[in-house]
Structure 1
Amino acid sequence: MNEVATDWQEAVRRFGGLLGRLRGEAGLTMRELAGAIGVAPATVSKAENGGYARPQDFYVVKQWVAACVNHVDGRSGSFSIPVELDWWREEHGQLERLYENLRLRPISSESVAPAATAALSHGREPHPIPFEVLHQKAVDHLADRSPHVRMAALRTLGDLGDEYPEKRQRIVNELCDYLRIPPDTSDAGEGQVRRTAQMVLAARLRPQRGDGMNPAFWLDMDVDLKRGYLCDVNFSGCEFRRADFDEAQFEGEAYFNGARFVGEARFVGAVFLGYEVSFQSARFETLSWFRWVAFHGYTYFQDAYFGFNAEFSRSQFSENAYFDRMMVQNHAWYTHAVFHGSVTFQKAQAKGATFWLDSFRAGVDFRGVQFTSPPSVGNCVAVDQAERYWPNNWVELTAEDVPGFFDSWPEDWAAVVEEAQAAEIRARWLSS
């Protein structure tokens, strides 16, 4: 073992011993202290025995000291160890600096273990502590009661993936596993922990950072967030090899602007509950599914590209929806879709499109659309008297146009049909 590693082990044991003495002088058991600072008793035991492979978050140290001081104040005791937070911050800072020196220090070839030799053969500097040890400790901390400890563990997983490329898909899977766990509504910090997991993931899925390449980009990652619980998502600019968001629940805004889906992209049954959801300029290279999706906020798909079909059947749009300049290489499906707000398809392009049993409940704008073959429409309804611009071969039929044919319809309802069907309906009414 090299000199720096020895110094690290001595330092982390010394720091843990100081924490243990502080707890003992405060008259707290491990279980009592764990309950006071919101961690597991095993966490207290590991900290006091120097069992951590890296410095714990200073927030835990701060809470530890504060809990001991408060307990002693309650029984008029005193300490032989300084309790000023500046002193503890300096001690903790020295520990972090020593750890950083240990992490970056090269290991001589004579002391390199077989695992480290393999690491060198892959062109990276070996870590003095094995991956599995660091990884297991980070995963263990994901179950910690403290949100700050969980956030630190998530960031550690990201750092490990940066250092070990062959482990990246495994770490992506673990981040997704965490986001699929139903949130604990009694934990005030749960939302921030989930945002941290999303940020750790998104930061590794972006090929670009600012005006240049992202050195932390992880290529060819599959993201499985089926039935995930997400909040304030920002996957803008991210690249997914395959993405599964089926039945995912998105709290707050959701942004996928400029995202690229290389393989299949699934959002079947997803629920977007925020003020807006945006896929502007997103690229869906192959199959994509937005069937049975509930868009509760404003929805943006301007300039989106679909390399195959665009599937929005049976989806609900509660606010305005924008599909301007959307390009679909094959067919766009909107069967049984319901548009509660205005919807616009200005200058959209597609090989074909089908609107069947749709409900348009506000304004509609198809001006400038370009379809290789005329879009088909049937049994759709338009509600209210909002301004509407239909494709050339579409017409509206109201109860006034064919009296008696739509007896049960309100006055402000109209059937949206193709011209040929409208002529057929009029002919049937006249012949009746």
Structure 2
Amino acid sequence: MPWWLVLVGLLVAALLGWLVLDWLLGEADRAAQPDTRATLRIDAIRTGLTVVAGTGGGLALLLAARRQWIGERAQRHQEAVAAQDQAHRERVQAHTEAITEAGQRHQERQAEAAEHDAAERRLTELYTGAVELLGNDNAAVRLGGLHALERLGQDNPAQRETIVAVLCAYLRMPAPQDDAREAEVRRTAQRVLTRHLRTNDDAFWPGVRLDLTGARLDGFDAAGCTLDDADLTGAVCAGTTSLAGATVRGRLRLGATFADLVCDDLRGDAEIALDDAEITGRVSFDRADLAGDLSCRQAIICRASFRRATLHRTATFDAAHFTHSVTFREAVFLSGVSMDRATIAGYAGFRLARFGDLALFRWTKFGDRTSFEGARFDGIANFGRSRFHGPVTFEGATFARPPLVEHARATVADPHVWPKGTTVGRLDDD
């Protein structure tokens, strides 16, 4: 505040006091009595001084209030400046910490990248070394290569798919005949594959897919394994190939040549294809529970057994050739089954089987005794143009609809038991 403004205030206070004093003295002089006039003059002087003092006090209060306001404003300014300084320091600190953290993360990424590169180089060296061992001329060295690959896959899950592909490729390679050492190497490779396909084992490798197309296998044992998309198309499987108790998903292609194939207690929803397969011994699906389609088109099978098997989807045996016998005793076909143009040279047993939907046996050739005793047909049963070259019995069989048997033929010499209502007539002497 400029000094002259304070001076003007004081002059205004003095002037106001003088004017009040002058007016009051003038009023006091109008009194008639000298004593009264003197008293009034004293009161006038006191009042004038009071006005001056009050005006001065008001100015002093105004100055004090202004000083207080200025002090509070200064304090708020100081607090705002302090807050801004604190916020600036915090921003600087946060920026510094961010830069430090970014630098640390960069260093960590560099360290991780260096470690990853080192690990990849180490894996590549181990993988390359194992593959080189697998390609060695010495059978013992090849065995070491197999175990090196297995150990590499066990310790590095990301490499398992590649390692399985290498083992399958090895089994697909042509094998020298009458080489006992190479046969042992191949059996070891098979065991390495199947050892990691059992879920109840700590060494289980999930999601493994087997591509064994055209491979030569000997006693391939995948019992209890979990198979995803296994392909044995064109493979030659000596000994007994076992999938007993296995769980299958995706597609299971078995269009191969087998000595014996055991699929007892097989489970899963895989589409199983035995199309064009050749089984010189026995194939067994006893007690299997198959939720996917089963196809055996044009397969050549010596003996087949599907005792108590449950097939939830369509089962197709069109043009299949059973050179000895086949049995579906107590089997359950919840969907359609087709054996059109199939040939069964020996016994064909469907005793107590259940057909939940369409059952097609058109142009089917039954060469020996055929039994549908106690079978149950919940859908259409079609035996049109089928041939029975041995005795056939439908004793105790039940049909939801009359079976279709147009142009079916059977031998005259053998005793037959036909479904009720079937019309039988002689065609010729045989």
TM-score higher than 0.5: yes
Alpha-carbon deviation of 1:132? 0.5
| TM-aligned CA distance change 1:400 to 1:154, over 3 Å | closer
Alpha-carbon deviation of 1:200? 0.6
Say if 2:154 is the partner of 1:162.
Answer: yes
Secondary structure of 2:220 counterpart: strand
Residue 327 of structure 2: aligned partner: 344
CA contact (8 A) 1:380 1:417 kept: no
CA contact (8 A) 2:391 2:416 kept: no
Alpha-carbon deviation of 1:381? 1.6
1:92-111 matched pairs, under 5 angstroms = none
Separation in 2 of the partners of 1:266 and 1:362? 27
Say if 2:307 is the partner of 1:324.
Answer: yes
CA contact (8 A) 1:382 1:415 kept: no
Structure 2: which amino acid aligns with 1:370? Answer: R
Give TM-score, length-normalised by structure 2. 0.62
Say if 2:251 is the partner of 1:264.
Answer: yes
| TM-aligned CA distance change 1:249 to 1:413, over 3 Å | farther
Separation in 2 of the partners of 1:372 and 1:399? 26
1:82-101 matched pairs, under 5 angstroms = none
| TM-aligned CA distance change 1:299 to 1:417, over 3 Å | farther
1:275-354 matched pairs, under 5 angstroms = 276-318=260-302, 320-350=303-333, 351-354=335-338
Residue 219 of structure 2: aligned partner: 232
Alpha-carbon deviation of 1:236? 0.8
Separation in 2 of the partners of 1:411 and 1:233? 46
CA contact (8 A) 1:383 1:413 kept: no
Q: 1:265-299: per-residue Cα shift (whole Å, max 9, x none)?
A: 1112x0002xx320111124132211111111121
Separation in 2 of the partners of 1:301 and 1:176? 26
CA contact (8 A) 1:377 1:418 kept: no
Secondary structure of 2:202 counterpart: coil
Residue 220 of structure 1: aligned partner: 207
Separation in 2 of the partners of 1:316 and 1:250? 15
CA contact (8 A) 1:399 1:411 kept: no
Q: Which has the higher contact order (CA 8 A, sep 6+)?
A: 1
Alpha-carbon deviation of 1:185? 1.6
Say if 2:184 is the partner of 1:198.
Answer: no
Separation in 1 of the partners of 2:391 and 2:155? 71
Residue 175 of structure 2: aligned partner: 183
The equivalent position to 1:383 in structure 2, one of 367, 372, 376, is 367
Q: Percent identity?
A: 26
Give TM-score, length-normalised by structure 1. 0.61
Secondary structure of 2:314 counterpart: strand
Structure 1: which amino acid aligns with 2:138? Answer: S
Q: 1:359-405: per-residue Cα shift (whole Å, max 9, x none)?
A: 22222221221221252211112224x4634646669656999xxx9
Say if 2:236 is the partner of 1:252.
Answer: no
CA contact (8 A) 1:396 1:417 kept: no
| TM-aligned CA distance change 1:133 to 1:398, over 3 Å | closer
| TM-aligned CA distance change 1:216 to 1:127, over 3 Å | farther
Alpha-carbon deviation of 1:231? 0.8
CA contact (8 A) 1:382 1:414 kept: no
Alpha-carbon deviation of 1:308? 2.3
Residue 339 of structure 2: aligned partner: 355
Alpha-carbon deviation of 1:251? 1.2
Structure 2: which amino acid aligns with 1:298? Answer: R
Separation in 2 of the partners of 1:398 and 1:115? 75
Alpha-carbon deviation of 1:410? 8.8
CA contact (8 A) 2:307 2:329 kept: yes
| TM-aligned CA distance change 1:411 to 1:230, over 3 Å | farther
Say if 2:138 is the partner of 1:146.
Answer: yes
CA contact (8 A) 1:267 1:290 kept: yes
Q: Is 338-347 or 249-258 further displaced after alignment?
A: 338-347
| TM-aligned CA distance change 1:412 to 1:131, over 3 Å | farther
| TM-aligned CA distance change 1:225 to 1:397, over 3 Å | closer
| TM-aligned CA distance change 1:416 to 1:341, over 3 Å | farther
1:28-43 matched pairs, under 5 angstroms = none
Structure 1: which amino acid aligns with 2:261? Answer: V
| TM-aligned CA distance change 1:292 to 1:396, over 3 Å | closer
The unaligned stretches of length 5 or more in structure 2 are 1-106, 393-406
Separation in 2 of the partners of 1:397 and 1:224? 41
Secondary structure of 1:277 counterpart: strand
Separation in 2 of the partners of 1:321 and 1:148? 39
CA contact (8 A) 2:220 2:237 kept: yes
CA contact (8 A) 1:354 1:375 kept: yes
Separation in 2 of the partners of 1:413 and 1:118? 78
Secondary structure of 1:145 counterpart: coil
Alpha-carbon deviation of 1:194? 0.4
Count residues with an aligned counterpart: 298
| TM-aligned CA distance change 1:332 to 1:163, over 3 Å | same
Moved over 3 A (4+): 112-119, 126-129, 386-401, 409-420
Separation in 2 of the partners of 1:207 and 1:147? 31
